[in-house]
């Protein structure tokens, strides 16, 4: 039986690229997103065209525990569980800290941080039963350094980084590896709010001289899925030498 991978937030950008990479390498892929269902189905269709294989589409908000439970129930019925969990679902919030509402704060934390806890909690029992598994969290350089006007986003990704390191220590004796990729400026829709001038200014700060591509993140995630089992508890920065 083929190994399974769940990629949360896989309707576009980094998540889409990760799902396509694993599908092309012969994995059984489980797709998820909370709202962009038409785009999610388009990813499924793209995988079908490229690989001839179908994949399981599990829409739902993984930042809500009840919905996450439903998603994992579907996965259990179809596959038994997931061999690799990629926690990619995330949103950004740009603006002054003092203008951010308590509801906005909680919503962002639910999507960016609570979802990582919920999905990991639901994925681990199956991994424990098999005495192997991998959890790969998609983080950000702002989780390492913080960003002005992105206090909540930075806090959520800092939480992901700390969660990664702590859970890795707890699960290492069970042969389950937990790592994260801290992304820099990746050319996705999340960064499209920047004006041409702002994009150029940011570009001038990156030693590699360009933005990262979602496919490069996907390649890194796939490599982590096949890395030596001794590699765990790491937050690997992918930012072109930026920070």
* DSSP annotation of 186: B
Active-site choice (118, 126, 153, 222): 153
CA 98/CA 67 separation, integer angstroms: 31
Closest of 191, 136, 139 to residue 12, by C-alpha:
191
Is residue 193 a contact partner of residue 91, using CB atoms and an 8 Å limit? no
Query: Is 211 considered catalytic here?
Result: no
H/E stretch holding 179: strand 176-183
Closest of 157, 134, 8, 167 to residue 72, by C-alpha:
8
CA 129/CA 234 separation, integer angstroms: 24
Q: Parallel, antiparallel, or unpaired: how do β-strands 133-140 and 176-183 relate?
A: parallel
Positive/negative CA dihedral, 84, 137, 36, 185? negative
Active-site residue list: 153
């Amino acid at each position: 039986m083929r190994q399974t991978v769940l990629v949360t937030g896989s309707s576009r950008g980094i998540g889409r690229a990760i799902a396509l990479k694993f599908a092309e390498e012969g994995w059984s892929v489980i797709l998820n997103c909370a709202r962009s269902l038409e785009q999610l189905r388009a990813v499924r269709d793209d995988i079908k065209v490229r690989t001839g294989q179908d994949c399981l589409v599990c829409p739902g908000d993984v930042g809500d525990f009840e919905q996450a439970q439903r998603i994992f129930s579907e996965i259990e019925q179809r596959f038994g569980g997931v061999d690799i969990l990629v926690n990619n679902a995330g949103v950004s919030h740009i603006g002054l800290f003092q203008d951010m509402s308590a509801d906005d704060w909680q919503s962002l934390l639910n999507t960016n941080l609570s979802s990582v806890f919920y999905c990991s909690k639901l994925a681990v029992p199956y991994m424990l039963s098999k005495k192997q598994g991998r959890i790969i969290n998609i983080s950000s350089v702002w989780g390492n350094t913080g960003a002005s006007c992105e206090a909540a986003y930075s806090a959520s990704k800092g939480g992901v980084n700390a969660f990664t390191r702590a859970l890795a220590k707890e699960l290492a004796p069970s042969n389950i590896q937990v790592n994260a990729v801290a992304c820099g400026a990746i050319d996705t829709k999340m960064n499209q709010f920047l004006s041409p001038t702002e994009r150029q200014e940011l570009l001038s700060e990156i030693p590699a001289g360009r933005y990262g591509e979602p496919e490069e993140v996907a390649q890194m995630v796939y490599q982590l899925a096949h890395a030596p089992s001794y590699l765990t508890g790491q937050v690997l920065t992918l930012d072109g030498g930026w920070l």
